[in-house]
Chain A
Amino acid sequence: DTGVSQDPRHKITKRGQNVTFRCDPISEHNRLYWYRQTLGQGPEFLTYFQNEAQLEKSRLLSDRFSAERPKGSFSTLEIQRTEQGDSAMYLCASSPSGGVNQPQHFGDGTRLSIL
């Protein structure tokens, strides 16, 4: 069990640029989640995948945000035309299937800074 892996750990970019983050879940976990966390706040849910299907999506996820999990393994989160307000920690989590009681295990996150 190598844990949830996220890449890159840090990303600094200029406003208006596009960025893409990658998440590799724990290998036997078929559920994958993306959250965003800003300073002093708890993580905010963005989206959820069961295998390759995106089943839940927050209203926080504007048209500039898109997430994919094409083969049901790793996932990518892309932000287009980044804005200052996108600066945050982007967290990925995974869990096994089997009801709503399975806890989510988080990766180390990608910290995004918009200049």
Chain B
Amino acid sequence: QKEVEQNSGPLSVPEGAIASLNCTYSDRGSQSFFWYRQYSGKSPELIMSIYSNGDKEDGRFTAQLNKASQYVSLLIRDSQPSDSATYLCAARSGGYQKVTFGTGTKLQVIP
């Protein structure tokens, strides 16, 4: 069983729509959660981090965390073609620096 699971996609949304990306994790000791964006052939770029239950908003991005359900999500409002990329969910367990990544969800924003 993978420790961090994501649907590989692709998830296709029209330009201007809301894209919803989901992630579940198996380690209940996970304390920190991160969303990275990765364009093809490039390195991961940090978008959002979240540590507490609830929502965290940053511009067009909203991260949501539900520790009871072991669920993390990322909403992208007003999706743009430039948002087309693979989105990686990552979790870090308490007491460790190791970050465990999911396999990523490929997002396609259709103009």
Contacts and interface: CB of A to CB of B under 8 A. Distances in A.
Interface of A: 31, 33, 40-45, 48, 50, 55-56, 58, 89, 91, 100-101, 103-109
B48 to A, nearest CB: 9
B103 A41 contact: yes
A42 B32 contact: no
Interface string B75-109: 00000000000001010101111111111100000
6 nearest A-B residue pairs (beta carbon): A42-B101, A106-B43, A45-B98, A48-B97, A103-B49, A101-B32
Contacts of B4: 42
20 contacts: A31-B97, A33-B99, A40-B8, A42-B4, A42-B90, A42-B104, A45-B98, A55-B97, A56-B96, A56-B97, A89-B43, A91-B44, A100-B32, A100-B97, A101-B31, A101-B49, A104-B34, A104-B99, A105-B46, A106-B43
B98 to A, nearest CB: 5
Interface string B26-70: 000001101010000011111001010000000000000000000
B97 A106 contact: no
A50 B96 CA distance: 12
Nearest to B34: A103
Interface residues of B, number: 27
A55 B102 CA distance: 23
Given A44-B101, A100-B97, A101-B49, A108 B42 contact: yes
Contact of B44 (A43, A55, A58): A43
Contacts of B46: 103-105
B44 to A, nearest CB: 5
Nearest to B93: A100
Contacts of B97: 31, 33, 48, 50, 55-56, 100
